[in-house]
Amino acid sequence: MSASTSAKIAFIGSHSVRKTNAVHSFAGAVGRSGRSVEVGREVVRFNPLGLNEGATPEAQLWVFTAQIQQELELRNRAEVLVTDRAVIDNFAYYLRTTGGEDPFHAEPLMRRWCETYDLFVRLLPDVALLADGVRSTNDAFRDEIEAILDDLLPKHIPPDRMITLPASEVTEAFDWAGLVERLVGPPDPARLRQGPPRFVRLRTGMSR
């Protein structure tokens, strides 16, 4: 695998834990630090095969591979890539559909791809499920995913690359500056004097 020139951080967890809010807030903080930033959207929303409790193993395999595709496309377009999910939480949804089996032998790729992230931020579900017209509002379903993540994450992500936050802390008042500095170092005063970064991009859809 060729080296990436950008730093990559993934916001992970089950659904309806304010990941998307966190992603956009963090990306804004990266931009204010003088770096260019790309945001990768949650690919499951573009899944043509179904989602939520009724998803099939094939549907979750589509999500898993689409996540990797998006990251490959975006990884060198900016100094920082911020992703809404990662391969490991998508793998958790896949395992839920297969009863813990791995019929497509996706685990070795998941394990290897986890090494490409510089940091993970896991958001814990201490907020109520809210209907958004896409994701499930079934508490038992979200609890199932969280239990799978509790098992998977310690096996595949070293503690020094994992940050855990309660979802309730993701508000407009949350200060992301410390996390930006941990990921890419302190702001460069010279670059800040030059004005905003060359580009701040939002991934708005999946290529076909």
In a domain, 41, yes or no: yes
| pTM score, whole prediction | 0.92
In a domain, 197, yes or no: no
* Measured distance CA(178)–CA(165) in Å, rounded: 14
In a domain, 206, yes or no: no
**If DSSP codes are grouped into helix, strand and coil, which group holds residue 208?**
coil
In a domain, 24, yes or no: yes
Report the number of distinct structural domains present in the chain.
1
* Measured distance CA(43)–CA(51) in Å, rounded: 11
Cβ neighbours, 10 Å, residue 65: 16
The per-residue pLDDT of the chain, averaged, comes to 91
Laid out side by side, the sheet with 80-84 consists of: 162-166, 119-124, 7-12, 80-84, 37-40, 200-202
In a domain, 45, yes or no: yes
In a domain, 153, yes or no: yes
Domain interval for residue 64: 7-188
Q: What percent of the chain has pLDDT over 90?
A: 83
Q: Give the model confidence (pLDDT) of 36-51 as tens digits.
A: 999 999 999 999 999 9
Q: Where are the beta strands (DSSP E) in the chain?
A: 7-12, 37-40, 80-84, 119-124, 162-166, 200-202
What's 47's domain CATH number?
3.40.50.300
